[in-house]
Chain A
Amino acid sequence: MSTIMDGLSLGAIYALIALGYTMVYGIAKMLNFAHGDIIMVGAYAILTSLQLTGNPYLAVVVSIVVCTASGVIIERLAYKPLRGASPLAVLITAIGVSFFLQAVAQLIYGSKSQSISLPDFGKVAIGDVKINVSTILTLVIGGVIMTALTLFVKKTRTGRAMQAVSEDKGAALLMGVNVNRIIMVTFAIGSMLAAFASLFYLMQIPSITPTLGSMPGIKAFTAAVIGGIGSIPGAMLGGVLLGLIEKICLSIPKIAPYTTSIEFSLLIVILLVKPIGLLGKKIREKV
């Protein structure tokens, strides 16, 4: 039971990160490798502002602002000049940005892990099992954010413009959609989600290193691909699925060391069987 709850809350974190990947991929058609490192940026933002002000709520706000801003700045400086260039070029640039962020963080904060004390909400007992309140918070807030995002994309003007851009950039441009603005908004939203992810991540593992974001980032991308990249419900499904699998594997001592292998093998198998992911849309190559 507690394993499943842990799995769900880890899944919620993965889902939040995966959403960032999937939205950017859906709209800018690029794999933002640096997305995982935005989480790291968010974590250090929380750390620094907590050290300066001591107010955890303010720290969260600061982290959201910093993440959003860095997402937008990265997009403007590194990716925007490459619009229309080959996916490989963009991907390599994104890898460069990821390394850049890690190196800067290491120069500022050092490579040693720093611990952070977030307010402890204690535990509640449901039946016989005690569950961390932070786990429940993660689930609830994560669920709310994802619902809000779905509504945003479906109902608002900007959201519909996003759908249009992801469907056909050229046509959207002709219809008067400001594609550059939409891509920027997408990056902003994705990075904002990453800020939340970093908060929840720290609630589970309260220590920060410059490479904190890379593994969750890769795993969340795995989740996005498993769910079908470009699909918002797919990212949520993939994230939760991956979180559950990871926690279940870790809870069985015999296979715990091989958890990473199992997760990545799952990715390879799914891509081989269903290259578009579980909920992805099929793209026909035009000849």
Chain B
Amino acid sequence: MSRYIANVKKQFKFKHITTWLLVAIALVILIILSNAGALDRSTTGLLSKIAYSIILATSLNLVVGFLGELSLGHAGFACLGAYIGTFAASYLRESIDSKLVVIILAMLIGGLVAAVFGLIIGLPALRLKGDYLAIVTLAFGEIVRNIFKNLPMFGGAMGYASKTYNQKELFIIAFVAVIIVLILMQNLIRSKHGRAITAIRDNEIAARAMGINVTFYKLFVFVIAAFFAGIAGVLYGHFTTPILYTKFDYNFSIEILVMVVLGGMGSINGSIISATLITIINFELQAKLSGDLAAVRTLVYAIILILIVVFNNAPALKPIKERFSLNHLKAKRNAKKAAVIHDDAAEWNRIETKVKMDTVLTPDLPHNEAVTPDKPDKPAKEDKENG
């Protein structure tokens, strides 16, 4: 026991728990506000939306940012979770009185079913890379949608009418789910398994040569991400009625991807922030921009997406970026300090969260890359968000 405490002390760093601690504090404040009657119905509804968006974005980030594979079918897993979870809940409600137990069981069932499909869709992921995998996951999302549309037991094209939850309670449950998911996810990333996953992303060939079981980890990440997406789907299903297959189209998958890209691939904190922001903006704009003007929103996202990716990745912009990046300024300042003291216990397992995108999906580095190593360029913007 004392050894355990010593070990924990050796590794504990406040930084590691800030993410979920902040979310928890936010939740407590919201609960107080809600009890004081300061939150109206639409705000609590928005909060539930934010909660499931955060789960969707962070879980997709596991696949895209940490494993380095592109998945365009994340909405498909959420769709499975939404339909199966609420379907299960409607049966469970007959035999179980406690609403809380019902929704927890529903989340587990929805998550597990999605996880099974994650396993199935993960199988092609082992043989395919990049664009091919993207198209297979996209195809999977469309298949799921198409099937739910045609199953009469789920209401077919009319959608599945589900019992919604009291929104004031639902957002609390949803945020507790977010906190648990975040803890599990970050703990996983900060372990040897997380290291193996990022090793595969960094250099798959080397990872194999080091005896990392690439097959297992790719499947594992797909399954875990699908499980969490399924849970998010169940939350969605308890929040909206009827559940419509049209919601889970390819655009929804892309929207989640936009959250991941905006927040920074490989950055859980970034995903949380961008998921929250995008959901709020969507919510606000939805009320203000009706009809065809809704396209303005899409237009803005499209432009932001293109600009961010081009700015972060265009080889020609590299020198400009380096000059203005925070890291560069930091390095300059550090150079002035004589000695930098390292905190061993914390530094050794710190997570290199932000990856430059060039390295994702391109394990085949050109020969000369090793001769003149690039400085890891971290875009200034992401740094601010995580600071």
Q: Which residues of B contact A210 (CB under 8 A)?
A: 295
B292 within 8 A of A: yes
Smallest CB–CB gap between A280 and chain B, Å?
Answer: 11
Whether the Cβ atoms of A31 and B135 lie closer than 8 Å is: yes
Q: Which residues of A contact B261 (CB under 8 A)?
A: 92
Whether the Cβ atoms of A271 and B299 lie closer than 8 Å is: no
Smallest CB–CB gap between B360 and chain A, Å?
Answer: 5
Partner of B124, one of A110, A260, A272: A272
Whether the Cβ atoms of B135 and A89 lie closer than 8 Å is: no
Whether the Cβ atoms of B359 and A271 lie closer than 8 Å is: no
Which of B49-57, B142-150, B169-177, B371-379 is near enough to bind chain A? B142-150
How far, in whole Å, are A165 and B268 apart by their CA atoms in the complex?
A: 39
Q: Considering only CB atoms, which chain B residue lies closest to A109 in the complex?
A: B292
How far, in whole Å, are A84 and B254 apart by their CA atoms in the complex?
A: 24
Contact with A along B61-75 (1 / 0, CB 8 A): 000100010100000
Q: Give the secondary structure class of A's interface.
A: helix
Smallest CB–CB gap between A26 and chain B, Å?
Answer: 12
B387 within 8 A of A: no
Number of A-B contacts (CB under 8 A): 158
How far, in whole Å, are A221 and B362 apart by their CA atoms in the complex?
A: 22
Known: A81-B316, A91-B130. A96 touches B305 (CB 8 A): yes
B32 within 8 A of A: no
Q: Considering only CB atoms, which chain B residue lies closest to A225 in the complex?
A: B135
A158 within 8 A of B: no
Q: Which residues of A contact B359 (CB under 8 A)?
A: 86
Partner of B298, one of A25, A83, A106: A106
| Number of A positions contacting B (CB below 8 A) | 50
| Number of B positions contacting A (CB below 8 A) | 55
Q: Considering only CB atoms, which chain B residue lies closest to A214 in the complex?
A: B250
Contact with B along A72-114 (1 / 0, CB 8 A): 0000001001111111110111011111101110110011000
Q: Which residues of A contact B361 (CB under 8 A)?
A: 86-88
Q: Which of B299-339 contact A (CB under 8 A)?
A: 299, 301-303, 305-306, 309-310, 312-317
Which of A130-138, A145-153, A183-191, A261-269 is near enough to bind chain B? A261-269
Q: Which residues of A contact B294 (CB under 8 A)?
A: 106, 111
Q: Which residues of B contact A285 (CB under 8 A)?
A: 205, 364
How far, in whole Å, are A261 and B140 apart by their CA atoms in the complex?
A: 8
B105 within 8 A of A: no
Q: Which of B38-87 contact A (CB under 8 A)?
A: 64, 68, 70
How far, in whole Å, are A214 and B141 apart by their CA atoms in the complex?
A: 14
Q: Which residues of B contact A106 (CB under 8 A)?
A: 292, 294-295, 298
Task: Give me 19 other A-B pairs in contact (C-beta within 8 A), A86-B359, A88-B361 excluded.
Answer: A31-B131, A78-B310, A81-B314, A82-B310, A82-B314, A88-B360, A89-B358, A92-B261, A95-B257, A98-B302, A99-B254, A99-B298, A102-B295, A103-B298, A210-B295, A225-B135, A261-B142, A268-B140, A272-B127
* CB-defined A-B contacts under 8 Å, sample of 7: A30-B131, A81-B317, A82-B313, A83-B315, A89-B312, A225-B132, A272-B127
Binding site for A on B (CB under 8 A): 64, 68, 70, 123-124, 127-128, 130-132, 134-136, 138-140, 142-143, 146-147, 149-150, 205, 250, 254, 257, 261, 291-296, 298-299, 301-303, 305-306, 309-310, 312-317, 357-362, 364
